[in-house]
């Protein structure tokens, strides 16, 4: 994260000065707020690779949350709306609406501009519904459904006291409904921005999503049950066919310990969303999620920015042992924990100049996979 108030103020002012009909004082919100430019990491499910037996992924830490496997009753009442974009919409504008009567706006910049790589683009968020932050710019992977497992590919972005959900939609998606944990339903229609059809909506950070359903002109295409971090983001990971039976829900502690004087813990949650593993320490947390897929298992490659740095992995049923060589050169076998028919492990990463490595063995001692 780096603060660049003048750059952000100029971009937000230019982006929203043409939105005359809107009731919210965008310019005042931007001027009065603390502008922060946030370089968001790539979507957690991006960069997925498949190997024969075991996987290791590292989890960067951001916000302290306590994870739970399913939507729960809302912590407080709230009112959320999504408004149709009128003829005066700004180029790149994806969505607008309100949270408890306060407005929000989401605008996508053209991919690959203002410091973003060709595979990234800026998402500009503004409005008092963004909370204490008057506006921010998040750099996310270019909105696309090219590698999406379902009809909509969502990216979750925190913004003050709100969470912003931005998604690219397939050509056959006519509209999307979002059922919230208070029972209300949002209907969101795609708009085209820079050649990509996209949707956006905003919720309070402590609101959960019960399900998301995509419809074509002829009926339901598919639905998703997100993983909700209590008082945190909702992660849309897996999509199901209409009427498809949901996977059973299971959860369990993978590992915990102390590293660098700080306590940490990792818990796996399995369900219709796929597999999500929050890594928690006393101050920070991040959730890594992947779809539920048969073995071979999934590999996530994520930066290790937390303190302590934690790695967690998923192993196929055939794996009996996983041995890890740390960056400091030390080698140790990690403990495998069975949860919901899968095997999981997690460990603190030690400092060192070498590359983290691992080897997975079956019960006969044969190597079935390695880093």
HEC-encoded secondary structure of the chain: CECCHHHHHHHHHHHHCCCCCCCCCHHHHHHHCCCEEECCCCCCCCCCEECCCECCEEECCCCCCCCCCCCCCCCCCCCEEEECCCCCCCCCEEEEEEECCEEEEEEECCCCCCCCCCCEEEEEEECHHHCCCCEEEEEEECCCCCCCCCCEEEEEEEECCEEEEEEEECCCCCEEEEEECCCCEEEECCEEECCEEEEEEEEECCCCEEEEEEEECCEEEEEECCEECCCCCEECCCCECCCCCCCCCEEEEEEEEEECCEEEEEEEEEECCEEEEEEECCCCEEEEEECCCCCCCEECCCCCCCCCCEEEEEECCCCCEEEEECCCCCEEEECCEEECCEEEEEEECCCCCCCCEEEEECCCCCEEEEC
Measured distance CA(153)–CA(161) in Å, rounded: 23
Under a CB-based contact definition with an 8 Å cutoff, are residues 234 and 72 in contact? no
- Give yes or no: residues 176 and 212 share one domain: yes
Higher pLDDT, 24 or 269: 269
Q: Which two tokens stand for residue 48?
A: 């997925």
Q: Is residue 22 part of a domain?
A: no
Boundary (domain end) residue, out of 205, 235, 265: 235
pTM higher than 0.85: no
Q: Is residue 357 part of a domain?
A: yes
Measured distance CA(68)–CA(348) in Å, rounded: 22
- Give yes or no: residues 225 and 135 share one domain: yes
Summarised one tens digit per residue, pLDDT across range 306-329 is 566 888 888 888 889 999 999 999
pLDDT value of position 282:
55
Measured distance CA(154)–CA(182) in Å, rounded: 21
Q: Is residue 9 part of a domain?
A: no
Q: State mean pLDDT over 113-120.
A: 78
Higher pLDDT, 209 or 300: 209
- Give yes or no: residues 195 and 277 share one domain: no
Q: Is residue 177 part of a domain?
A: yes
Domain containing 269 equals 49-69+249-370
- Give yes or no: residues 213 and 122 share one domain: yes
- Give yes or no: residues 98 and 204 share one domain: yes
- Give yes or no: residues 117 and 62 share one domain: no
- Give yes or no: residues 304 and 205 share one domain: no
User: What's the total number of domains in the chain?
Assistant: 2
Tell me the average pLDDT of the chain. 78
Measured distance CA(190)–CA(367) in Å, rounded: 48
- Give yes or no: residues 114 and 223 share one domain: yes
Q: Is residue 23 part of a domain?
A: no
pLDDT value of position 180:
96
Q: Is residue 154 part of a domain?
A: yes
- Give yes or no: residues 75 and 64 share one domain: no
Handedness of CA 179, 185, 186, 190 (dihedral sign): positive
Q: Which two tokens stand for residue 94?
A: 């994806």
Summarised one tens digit per residue, pLDDT across range 188-213 is 999 999 999 999 999 998 899 999 99
- Give yes or no: residues 313 and 191 share one domain: no
pLDDT value of position 318:
84
- Of 5-14, 77-86, 111-120, the poorest mean pLDDT is in 5-14
Judged against a pLDDT cut of 50, whether residue 58 lies above it is answered with no
Q: Is residue 187 part of a domain?
A: yes
Boundary (domain end) residue, out of 206, 235, 264: 235
- Give yes or no: residues 266 and 155 share one domain: no
Q: Is residue 153 part of a domain?
A: yes
Judged against a pLDDT cut of 70, whether residue 153 lies above it is answered with yes
Is the preceding omega at residue 308 within 30 degrees of 0, hence cis? yes
The CA-atom distances, in angstroms, between 117 and each of 63, 110, 155, 194, 345 are: 26, 11, 17, 16, 34
Measured distance CA(139)–CA(364) in Å, rounded: 47
Boundary (domain end) residue, out of 235, 269, 297: 235
- Give yes or no: residues 207 and 269 share one domain: no
The strand pairing partners of 107, in sequence order, are 93, 124
Measured distance CA(285)–CA(205) in Å, rounded: 15
């Amino acid at each position: 994260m780096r603060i660049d108030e003048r750059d952000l103020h100029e971009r937000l002012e230019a982006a929203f000065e043409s939105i005359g009909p809107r009731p919210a004082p965008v310019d005042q919100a931007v001027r009065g707020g603390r502008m922060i430019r946030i370089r968001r990491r790539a979507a957690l499910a991006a960069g997925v690779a498949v190997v024969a037996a075991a996987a290791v992924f590292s989890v960067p830490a951001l916000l302290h949350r306590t994870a739970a496997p399913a939507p729960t009753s809302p912590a407080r009442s709230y009112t959320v709306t999504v408004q149709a974009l009128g003829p005066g919409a700004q180029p790149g504008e994806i969505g607008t609406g309100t949270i408890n009567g306060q407005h929000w706006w989401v605008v996508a910049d053209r991919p690959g501009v203002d410091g973003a790589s060709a595979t990234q683009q800026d998402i500009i968020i503004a409005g008092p519904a963004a909370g204490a932050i008057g506006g921010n710019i998040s750099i996310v992977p270019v909105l696309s459904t090219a590698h999406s497992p379902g009809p909509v590919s969502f990216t979750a972005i925190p913004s003050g006291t709100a969470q912003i959900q931005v998604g690219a939609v397939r050509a056959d998606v006519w509209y999307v409904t979002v059922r919230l944990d208070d029972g209300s339903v949002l209907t969101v229609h795609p708009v085209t921005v820079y050649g990509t059809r996209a949707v956006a909506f905003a919720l309070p950070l402590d609101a959960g999503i019960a399900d998301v359903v995509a419809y074509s002109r002829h009926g339901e295409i598919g639905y998703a049950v997100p993983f909700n971090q209590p008082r945190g983001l909702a992660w849309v990971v897996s999509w199901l066919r209409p009427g498809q039976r949901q996977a059973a829900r299971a959860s369990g502690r993978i590992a915990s310990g102390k590293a660098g004087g700080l306590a940490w813990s990792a818990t796996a949650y399995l369900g219709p969303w796929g597999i999500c593993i929050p890594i928690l320490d006393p101050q920070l947390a991040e959730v890594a999620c992947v779809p539920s897929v048969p073995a071979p298992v999934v590999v996530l490659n994520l930066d290790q920015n937390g303190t302590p740095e934690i790695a967690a992995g998923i192993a196929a049923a055939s794996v009996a042992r996983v041995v890890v060589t740390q960056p400091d050169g030390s080698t140790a076998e990690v403990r495998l924990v069975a949860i919901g028919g899968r095997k999981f492990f997690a460990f603190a990463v030690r400092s060192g100049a070498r590359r983290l490595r691992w080897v997975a063995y079956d019960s006969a001692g044969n190597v079935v996979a390695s880093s």
